[in-house]
Amino acid sequence: MNIFDFDKTIYRGDSSFEFLWFNLRRRPTFIVDAMRFVWSVGLYFLGLKTKVEAKEALFGYLPKIKNIDETVADFWQEKQLEKWYLKIQQADDVVISASPRFLIEPFLRQAGVQHIIATEVDLKTGKFLSPNCYGTEKVTRLRAEFPKKHFARAYSDSLSDLPMLKLAKQAYVVDHGQIVALADYKPNFKTKLKQQFMSREFVLFLGVGVINAINGILFASLYARFLANANIAFVLGYMTSLTISYLLNSWIIFCEKLSLKRYLKFAISYIPNFLIQNLCVVIFYNLLKFDKIVAFIVAVIIGVPVTFLAIKIFAFSKKENQNEKR
């Protein structure tokens, strides 16, 4: 028995988003529902909504579809599974997906797949009737459905399915149609960038960065009222805002315990930001004669991602955190 993820694994696209776009083209008024979903995703990245709540918003338009079965059938017309899968397909294959069952099941049944595990969604509300079939939940569902089965091979496009992949004797990652053994898989540069910067951590880091900048100005102005030297007031304001930033990064973004060692490493992590931003100003303002506002914007665009990586890798290293817990 073999296990297969669905989206971007045996099916080239992302069925849930494609289904939204399909219905949006049919009924442009669904743009309101699409915007609600975008808003929910934003709230999720800010930590104000759970991942499930954000994903449920993706299906908020479902109650407005009169004949869901007919719409699903129309959606799958002229679509097909990946050719590599059709060549190795077996009668006892299991396809498991975080996508909703109502959407992928008719298509898979038509393709001859008998064992389908997916997220259950209420068509009247768009709410989930089961846990989101993602990550470790896939292992839970597989164990519940096939308690005595041994899995020969497992395929997925994402390392978020690593718990599922580890269930099988042989595990494979499907990277844009290319099948690579899990042991040999190395994410490409584009994938690594997406993992780092299309993440909740990075969005929250940007938010904390804005708070940090405001705090720096406010505290520097406050200290300047009591100190004659403006430079000292600026340094004190910077250090105060840096300390607050460390607290917010520890509590909200990386969820780590406070420590003096980590605070010092956090402060050191800002040195590359300082050097890069000053270098950008010299190059774009002093040498290339760009407007100073443009130079400042370029400095921030380059400096902020570098700082995020420095803090994540150096100050909040997962490897170091694991060693501390031991």
Q: Determine the pLDDT at residue 14.
A: 95
For residue 74, pLDDT over 90 is answered with: yes
Domain count, the chain: 2
Count of C-beta atoms within a 10 Å radius of residue 179: 15
**The domain boundary residue, chosen from 165, 186, 207:** 186
**Residues 34, 85 within the same domain:** yes
pLDDT at 65 over 90: yes
Burial 117-145 (b: 16+ CB within 10 A, else e): bbbebeeeebebeeeebbbebbbebbeee
At 20 the three-state DSSP class reads helix
Q: Are residues 178 and 223 in the same domain?
A: no
What is the length of the chain? 326
Mean pLDDT of the 35-44 span: 88
Q: Are 223 and 237 in contact (CB under 8 A)?
A: yes
- Give ∠ CA 124-125-126 in degrees, rounded to 5: 110
- Which tokens sit at 265? 């490493």
Residues 179 and 58 in one domain: yes
Average pLDDT over all residues of the chain: 88
> In the chain, how long is the greatest CA-to-CA distance?
81
- pLDDT digits over 236-286, tens only? 888 898 899 999 999 888 888 889 999 999 999 888 877 887 788 788 888
**Final residue in a domain of this structure, among 153, 186, 219:** 186
Show the DSSP H helices in 27-120 as ranges. Answer: 31-45, 51-57, 68-76, 83-88, 101-110
Strands (DSSP E) contained in 114-167 are 115-119, 151-156
Mean pLDDT computed over 158-183: 93
Asked if 235 and 290 sit in the same domain, the reply is yes
Q: Model confidence over 146-170: pLDDT tens digits?
A: 998 999 999 999 989 999 999 999 9
137, 131 in Cβ contact below 8 A? yes
One-letter amino acid identity for 76? W
Predicted confidence band at 326 (pLDDT cuts at 50, 70, 90)? very low
Choosing from 186, 207, 240, the residue where a domain stops is 186
8, HSE (Cβ side, Cα atoms, 13 Å): 15
Same domain, 288 and 178: no
The CATH code of the domain that includes 96 is 3.40.50.1000
Amino acid occupying residue 207: G
* CA 75/CA 22 separation, integer angstroms: 7
Highest averaged pLDDT of the listed ranges 42-46, 159-163, 215-219: 159-163
Same domain, 154 and 17: yes
Q: Do 218 and 280 fall within a single domain?
A: yes
Range of the domain at 230: 195-325
Q: Distance between CA atoms of 186 and 218, rounded to whole angstroms? A: 45
CA atoms within 13 Å, Cβ hemisphere of 70: 3
Decide if pLDDT at 222 tops 50. Answer: yes
Q: Which pLDDT value is given to residue 320?
A: 53
Q: Model confidence at 125, in pLDDT bands (50, 70, 90)?
A: very high
162, 209: one domain: no
Q: What is the pLDDT of residue 325?
A: 44
Q: Are residues 178 and 55 in the same domain?
A: yes
